[in-house]
Homo-oligomer: A and B are copies of this chain.
Amino acid sequence: MEDIHGLLRSHRSIRKFYDEPLPDETLVAIVRSGQSAASSSNLQATTVIRVRQPETRARISELAGGQQQILTAGAFTVWCADLHRTKLACEMAGGTMTTGMTEQFIIATVDVALAAQNAVVAAEGMGYGICYIGAIRNDPQTVADLLELPDHVYPVFGLCFGLPAQDPEVKPRLPVEVVLKDDVYCDDDIELIRAYDETLRDYYRTRTEGTKDSSWTEEMARLVDGERRPHMREFLARRGFELR
């Protein structure tokens, strides 16, 4: 497993796939490897729903801003944080679940993310491409309705898998010095961030043949300007995640 760094560092989101369904047994293997990720107290709060119905995929693609890869991926899956199963397990053992805690929400969300990333590494190790779809949270209630999710289950993100029909460049990341600190948080990264701004500007220019001219800080300013998905709090409360 010498080339593990090479595999991980070659990740880029794939948004064009060959029109070929992912075999069932391949998705099972990928999800099975996903399950091997660490899980807080063995909670295993992850449920994965493979969306096969073309009309459901079309609805989700539409609410996610028209992302075509949701329609064309070999498999489109929705990764859910599932405390309904925990509640069931608890009741099977004669207990009662205390619901709605912020801590449970964190545990379940992290559980799903760890399992998903393991599944991503498995898929990419097999030569498939992937794309996370956070935009299912544009309208999480419709997603929950379409997938018939019970209370205490919320859709965290979508995940496309398939044979890549494109070979985009790897997007450069922040210098590791910005991200990894010794002992205490320190905040002297402005010069490194400015350098990254130029790296990313070059990347966008090359990739878009000059039509996109933007830096990281400019992208961030656009991203966090205004209330993003302000329905999430209320949506989660309705699902039984009151975040007390």
Per the bound structure, the CA–CA distance linking A168 and B225 in Å amounts to 48
Residues of chain B within 8 A of A69, CB atoms compared = none
Stretch at the interface among A15-23, A146-154, A205-213: A146-154
**A49 to chain B: closest CB distance in Å?**
5
Closest to A224 in B: B97
Q: A101-B232, A189-B85 are in contact. Are A8 and B27 (CB under 8 A)?
A: no
Whether the Cβ atoms of A110 and B157 lie closer than 8 Å is yes
Q: Which of B43, B181, B220 contacts A48 (CB 8 A)?
A: B181
Whether the Cβ atoms of A215 and B4 lie closer than 8 Å is no
Q: A97-B225, A233-B243 are in contact. Are A90 and B38 (CB under 8 A)?
A: no
Residues of chain B within 8 A of A31, CB atoms compared = 176, 179-180
Whether the Cβ atoms of A8 and B28 lie closer than 8 Å is no
A positions within 8 Å CB-CB of B: 1, 3-5, 7-11, 13, 27-29, 31-44, 46-53, 56, 80, 83-90, 92-98, 101-104, 106-107, 109-110, 113-114, 116-118, 120-122, 125-126, 130, 132, 134, 137, 147-150, 153, 156-157, 170-171, 173-174, 176, 178-187, 189-190, 193-194, 200, 215-230, 232-233, 236, 243-244
Closest 10 CB pairs of A and B: A4-B125, A95-B221, A113-B113, A103-B229, A117-B117, A93-B221, A93-B217, A89-B220, A1-B125, A8-B33
